[in-house]
Amino acid sequence: MMNIKRVISTIERNYIKNNLKKEERIDGRGLWDYRELSIKSDIIKSAEGSADVILGNTRIIIGLKYDVGRPFPDLPNEGVCTVMAELLPLASPLFERGPPNEQSIELARVVDRGIRHADCVQTKKLCIKEKEAVYILFLDLYVINYGGNLIDAGGLGALISLISAHIPEGEWKNDAVEWTGSYLTGKEIVKELPIVFTYGKIDDIIFLDPNLPEELVCDGKISISVTESKITSIQKSGSATFTIDEIKMLIKKSLEMGKKKRKELNLLKYLYKSD
């Protein structure tokens, strides 16, 4: 992968830093403002749930597919949900073809952790027959355009794909899975609504939702996933350090913004509705 720190000039780097020190950003936002957000759900008819999320110039399409398999021996009555991410070369000259790199692995893991630790997916609802058959859900994130902060866009898209899920309902008969003609939907599968917030840090300045130029000059980032009342995961990257007081402040801010964002987005409107 191309060294992204060499992509942006020293002049532009200094310009971004100097503006942030004055609590100004190159796109006109305040330090704690999100870019414009656009969401569409159920856009892929061949998927069992999907979302198209545009955050500023970042665009990610997410698809949910399923398989039926045997459960893990230590979780005989629970299904599985797994997250994968692909950084398509068409999204940015920074992305190259080949096996997953650190950035795509980080994106998938942070999104997965925020969902998994929130008790978002009710894995017991994914059990068809204990010890015999469970649903295995695959959330695939495809980055279509890279404009910074993939984690927040990917996390929101993964959540909406789960909410909009409509998975063929199976039951165990005659030692095999038979389909009922009904669907297992997000209403049964999704319990909690975790939202992730990513902050950049340059010197001692912290700001929400770094765009691409800001991300390229960041000393580091921290992503905090929250439900209505608790933290589900924290992930830091880069060389920046965050003090205990800074982390406490960001946790408080994330919980406050999470409540506001859930109200604004009205996430349950994306529940699958049969025709």
pLDDT digits (tens, 9 = 90+) for 60-79: 999 999 999 999 999 999 99
The rounded distance, in Å, linking the Cα atoms of 91 and 226 is: 28
What is the structure's pLDDT at 269?
Answer: 95
Confidence of residue 14 (pLDDT cuts 50, 70, 90): confident
**What tokens were used for 145?**
């355009």
Collapse the DSSP code of 180 into the 3-class scheme (helix H, G, I; strand E, B; otherwise coil) and give the result.
strand
Mean pLDDT of the chain: 92
The rounded distance, in Å, linking the Cα atoms of 248 and 254 is: 10
Residues of the chain by 3-state class (helix, strand, coil), percent to 5? 30, 35, 35
C-beta separation of 206 from 245 below 8 A: no
Question: How large is the average pLDDT for residues 8-31?
Answer: 84
What does the angle CA 52 – CA 163 – CA 117 come to, to the nearest 5 degrees?
A: 105
Tens-digit pLDDT profile for residues 227-272: 999 999 999 999 999 999 999 999 999 999 999 999 999 999 999 9
C-beta separation of 115 from 197 below 8 A: no
| Largest Cα span, the chain | 70
Q: Where in the chain are the domains? A: 4-270
Confidence of residue 275 (pLDDT cuts 50, 70, 90): low
pTM assigned to the model: 0.92
Encoded amino acid at 181, one letter: G
Neighbours of 151 (CB within 10 A): 25
Of the options 1.10.10.10, 3.40.190.10, 3.20.20.30, 3.30.230.70, the CATH number for the domain spanning 4-270: 3.30.230.70
Tens-digit pLDDT profile for residues 110-148: 999 999 999 999 999 999 999 999 999 999 999 999 999
The rounded distance, in Å, linking the Cα atoms of 87 and 142 is: 6
CA distances in angstroms from 168 to 2, 78, 136, 229, 270, listed in the order given: 42, 17, 12, 32, 18
Collapse the DSSP code of 151 into the 3-class scheme (helix H, G, I; strand E, B; otherwise coil) and give the result.
helix
